A = this chain, B = another copy of it.
Amino acid sequence: MFRLSPTPLNPADLAQALTDERAGACVTFEGWVRSRNDGQSVFALDYEAYPLLAEKEGARIVAEAREKFSVLAAHCVHRTGHLAIGELAVWLGVTAEHRGDAFEACRYLIDEAKARVPIWKKEHYAGGASVWINCATRGDHVHLPGQPA
């Protein structure tokens, strides 16, 4: 299961759907909004998604993880919209009979999701500047007030 959520994620609620008597292992990954990234002081950020294709590609990644690893459930929910420091940007939960599969499937899911799902992140910095992550091109810079451009 892969879905987007415009509202805050609650890990305890999300984990309830993973309950399974056959499961011996549950691995979760949470991506949190950090106060610093690449040396810059982050104030907040926005996630924007291409919903239809994000959900299709997310579902494909979940299906791949299920083929590659012996898992019972694999859920991924990604936030969209405006997030403050410390907020949960993405939540993944994987259950399996054995822990090796749960760890490897969870890692696979987040690595592939970050690389392939059409979701974009705009970071807002303390000084007022903002940048679309991974979209810088030669000559771009973050112009911080008080510094020469």
Q: Please, which residues of chain B bring their CB within 8 A of the CB of A19? A: 86
Q: How far is the CB of A143 from chain B (nearest CB, A)?
A: 25
User: Measured between alpha carbons, how far is A107 from B106 in the docked complex, in Å?
Assistant: 12
Q: How many copies does the complex hold?
A: 2
A25, B36: Cβ atoms closer than 8 Å = no
Q: How long is the Cα–Cα vector from A26 to B31 in the complex, in angstroms?
A: 7
The SS class assigned to the A binding surface is mixed
CB-based contact A34/B21 at 8 Å: yes
Is B21 touching A35 in the complex (CB atoms < 8 A)? Answer: yes
Contacts of A103 in B (CB 8 A): 29, 103, 106-107
A/B interface sample: 15 pairs, CB < 8 A? A11-B11, A12-B12, A21-B34, A21-B35, A25-B29, A25-B32, A26-B29, A26-B32, A27-B27, A27-B106, A28-B30, A29-B99, A32-B95, A34-B97, A99-B110
